[in-house]
Copies of this chain bind each other. A is one copy, B any other.
């Protein structure tokens, strides 16, 4: 059992470093590329992080719309990411007869590469600080609702203007919980083709039991190719491949897109998570995991079509369980409180600071208090596709809202309908990716049951939604009655605007329309009474933090490009040293030890390759780099900017990184670059692909 032992816990606390009220030390930090930790790296490792280096790595990094990271690794637009990042596409491209998840895939030539239905890849091109412009419209004495409106208006306008000027995909990013706003401009690619994926059996060897564990033996990799104008992209920047890989204690860097952390949260905000928000969300997660497992058990085809959802929910569950455990640890929460007290004391000691920022913490606390009053209802009905479950209902909601939002000026629209996001929205809305009615019924049933559970069976909206039927009967009626399975129908409804929505007899659209008013009301209340004041509070805390601890701090993760650094490093667990590398020999041993039974069953290709593969090849390794969910697929590069690994996980002790960094035991887990090449050549017969990666023409 690899778990946080008592021993570990105290060691962890001793090393604990809180961003709130303390300067980052050790290898902490998910740094902004325009505020890179040059000083720290120079002083700790004597390495000079140049602007050229930063630009090269930044422009080689890729953000993937399925929720992960990747990198350009050849002059022909080859993108490396994780199997579990690419698996959403693998599923969408698979059929009952041709299951790429189970069997893997390799395009022997360019014409065999398969176009993905609805993926986007973004390469970050420029960053501009637009804090002043976003906040320009926020006047003293303004209600937080009005302040929120002014900020939204300014952000949409900045994005639209930047897009018009550069042609790039532009997003304003809210950093430090609202303390800063940066404008990120991306090159955006949607012609992405599948090149190579191993079998899930090796990519996710060990399955849920080994997920977030180390030692580990996963070939969690996948290759796509970006096309531009119908031809492979010739990128300005791409990462070269290291010839030698790493050895223990080498300095390495991770460039990727960490999704979300909660390190700057106030204690009361964390308590809200622990005592209110997590109990609510964990319930839904546990329910989904159990329901999907039951659904999948019924037939092989059910298993195939739900496997991706299932992996997603298991992964989320395991990650959140780790964070939740951290929130439940009185010592960790106590240390957070101490750090907060220290910062507040420093603020209170300066009358000017106290006046400007002293009430930031209380504003956040008040926002969470308000949120509690309607958070359950908001969770049920207030989200961007509500929480009813199933893709079809989500599409109905989008269609119903699109008709309304399109008629509004850009700055007044709901954020996801802003003009700069319209292409992405339509890519999803009109995706030809398969939707399985059986799974839709299952998911919508689960969603409707969840609704009864959250709001009670006598709730007027619940009564209206169920329309006198049981959740399952109602889900069957809706899924079998709608025409939204058909992409042409979705396009036609979208083209028809408000009138098409109003006149539609499609039961899914009728339901989405009927719920729209309440849903919008809940969302408005959330934005005006919770999100708005909370952001204002956090802006004050951020300002106070900068004033007290200096500007050299990184913001919480926001699924935008960050740079982490650290070393390849062993750690201790239950009194024993855990070596930083595994190798292929260990893979075969682990399969033996678990009787080669699912999820420790080697794919046939691997069982056969034992004699031809170099068993001493380093396979997975750990480093102290500061990562979190969203970093999956990030390249690990060495000082020369060459690929030495591929991030795919953190160990179980790293899960608490969500709320606080630790380098005592917490480790990022990567596939070693050498294992990637060795397996491409020896196991998969992908010599051409390996050649492209290590010796691409033009190097």
Contact = CB atoms under 8 A, between A and B. Distances in A.
Given A286-B283, A286-B289, A457-B271, A472 B325 contact: yes
Contacts of A438: 1
Contacts of A297: 207-209, 599
A6 B441 CA distance: 13
A150 interface: no
Interface string A100-140: 00000000000000000000000000000000000000000
Contacts of A4: 470, 472-473
A274 B477 contact: no
B329 A470 contact: yes
Contacts of A5: 473, 476
B209 A298 contact: yes
B298 A472 contact: no
A331 B209 contact: no
A341 interface: no
Contact of A468 (B209, B318, B330, B456): B330
Contact of A274 (B1, B271, B298, B452): B452
B208 A274 contact: no
Contacts of A282: 287, 453
A626 to B, nearest CB: 22
Given A209-B297, A290-B290, A458-B275, A325 B453 contact: no
A6 B476 contact: yes
Interface string A1-33: 101111001000000000000000000000000
Contact of A287 (B286, B457, B463, B466): B286
B457 A328 contact: yes
A236 interface: no
Interface string A618-655: 00000000000000000000000000000000000000
Contacts of A477: 6
B328 A449 contact: yes
A3 to B, nearest CB: 6
Interface string A294-336: 1001101000000000000000011000001101111111100
A457 B330 contact: yes
Give the interface size class of chain A.
35 or more
A555 interface: no
Contacts of A328: 449, 452, 457, 470-471
Given A279-B453, A458-B271, A473 B290 contact: no
A325 B329 CA distance: 36
Interface string A266-288: 00000100110011001100110
A324 B448 CA distance: 13
Contacts of A608: none
Interface string A445-470: 00001001110111000010010111
Contacts of A342: none
A377 to B, nearest CB: 14
A567 to B, nearest CB: 28
A594 interface: yes
B283 A468 contact: no
Contacts of A469: 6, 9, 329-331
Contacts of A457: 271, 274-275, 327-328, 330, 333
A209 B325 contact: no
Contacts of A283: 279, 283, 286-287
Contacts of A293: 208
Contact of A331 (B300, B453, B468): B468
A458 B325 CA distance: 15
A21 to B, nearest CB: 21
A463 B298 contact: no
A289 B6 CA distance: 25
Contacts of A271: 456-458
Most buried by B among A9, A453, A458: A453
A434 to B, nearest CB: 19
Given A275-B452, A283-B287, A325-B449, 13 more contacts: A1-B438, A6-B476, A9-B473, A207-B297, A208-B294, A271-B456, A274-B456, A282-B453, A324-B449, A328-B471, A330-B466, A332-B470, A334-B468
| 8 closest Cβ pairs, A-B complex | A209-B297, A286-B286, A329-B470, A275-B456, A6-B473, A283-B283, A279-B453, A328-B452
7 contacts: A4-B473, A6-B469, A6-B473, A207-B297, A275-B457, A289-B290, A328-B470
Interface of A: 1, 3-6, 9, 207-209, 271, 274-275, 278-279, 282-283, 286-287, 289-290, 293-294, 297-298, 300, 317-318, 324-325, 327-334, 438, 449, 452-454, 456-458, 463, 466, 468-473, 476-477, 594-595, 598-599
